[in-house]
Chain A
Amino acid sequence: QKEVEQDPGPLSVPEGAIVSLNCTYSNSAFQYFMWYRQYSRKGPELLMYTYSSGNKEDGRFTAQVDKSSKYISLFIRDSQPSDSATYLCAMSVGGGADGLTFGKGTHLIIQP
C-alpha cells in the first residue's frame, strides 16, 4: 500500500461549483500537509500549507486535515476555468530535512 493515496481523476465539474479534493495516508507520523497546483508542463505551485489537524482558509481555497482519520481535503469555492490543473497533496514528518511524500495528483477540469 502506497503511503499517500489520491484519486487521479479526471474530475470534471461546471464553473462555479464547489470542488472537493482528497488524500488519505497511512503514516501517522506525518505532521505537515501541503497542496500544490500543477499546470501542464509547469512546476508545482504551493497553494496551502497546514500543520497538524484543523482548517486553513485562503481566499477561495480551504484545506482540512483530520489526523485521526488520516485524511486531508482541499475545497475550492466558486471554481473557475483557470483552476483546471492537476492538484497534488504532499506531506512530511518534519524531522531534519526530509523530503515530501506526494500523492499521484488529481486532474481537475472546470467546464465553462
Chain B
Amino acid sequence: NAGVTQTPKFQVLKTGQSMTLQCAQDMNHNSMYWYRQDPGMGLRLIYYSASEGTTDKGEVPNGYNVSRLNKREFSLRLESAAPSQTSVYFCASSLAGGRNEQFFGPGTRLTVL
C-alpha cells in the first residue's frame, strides 16, 4: 500500500496563477484533510471532507477550494495564487473523522513569487 500520495512534490507559481494539488489514499479511509505548514505557525487545517460528497472549511480556508472527487481522491485548488500561500501543503486521511489516527502524505512544497 502506498498510503497517502500527493502530486506534485514541488511547484513554483507566479502571483495570480492557478493550480490544483492532488491527493489520493489507498487505505479505504472515509475522511480526508488538507493542512498547510509554515515556519513558526505549525500545521493548520485548510479544508476537510468527512466523507465522499461532503467538504467543510477549516481554520484557514480563504483563497482555496477543494473537491472530493471520489472516496480515494481529494484535491486542493488555488484559483489566484498569492505570495502568502507560499507554504508546504500536506494531505491526510483517517478512517472516520477525529476519533481515528490521521496519516499524512509527503507534502507539496509551493512557492508563489
Residues of A that sit less than 8 Å from B by CB: 8, 32, 34, 36, 41-46, 49, 88, 90, 92-100, 102-105
Across the interface, do A94 and B101 meet the contact criterion of CB distance under 8 Å?
no
Chain B 71-112 interface 0/1 with A at a Cβ cutoff of 8 Å (1 = within)? 000000000000000000010001011110111111101000
Contacts between chains A and B (CB distance < 8 A), count: 75
Chain B 41-80 interface 0/1 with A at a Cβ cutoff of 8 Å (1 = within)? 1111100111100001011000000000000000000000
Q: Is B25 an interface residue (CB 8 A)?
A: no
Across the interface, do A44 and B106 meet the contact criterion of CB distance under 8 Å?
no
A-side contacts of B101, CB under 8 Å: 34, 46, 49
Across the interface, do A32 and B98 meet the contact criterion of CB distance under 8 Å?
yes
Residues of B that sit less than 8 Å from A by CB: 4, 30-31, 33, 35, 40-45, 48-51, 56, 58-59, 90, 94, 96-99, 101-107, 109
Across the interface, do A105 and B42 meet the contact criterion of CB distance under 8 Å?
yes
Measured in the bound complex, the distance between the Cα atoms of B48 and A95 in whole Å is 13
Measured in the bound complex, the distance between the Cα atoms of B98 and A104 in whole Å is 19
Instruction: Sample 27 A-B pairs with CB under 8 A, ordered by A number.
Output: A8-B40, A34-B102, A41-B107, A43-B105, A43-B106, A43-B107, A46-B103, A88-B43, A90-B43, A94-B99, A95-B97, A95-B98, A96-B98, A97-B94, A97-B96, A98-B97, A99-B45, A99-B98, A99-B102, A100-B43, A100-B45, A100-B98, A100-B102, A102-B42, A102-B43, A102-B44, A104-B40
Across the interface, do A97 and B51 meet the contact criterion of CB distance under 8 Å?
yes
> In the complex, how many angstroms separate the beta carbon of A32 from the nearest chain B beta carbon?
6
> In the complex, how many angstroms separate the beta carbon of A3 from the nearest chain B beta carbon?
10
A-side contacts of B59, CB under 8 Å: 99
A-side contacts of B106, CB under 8 Å: 42-43
Query: Contact partner of A46 among B31, B42, B102, B107, CB < 8 A?
Result: B102
> In the complex, how many angstroms separate the beta carbon of B54 from the nearest chain A beta carbon?
8
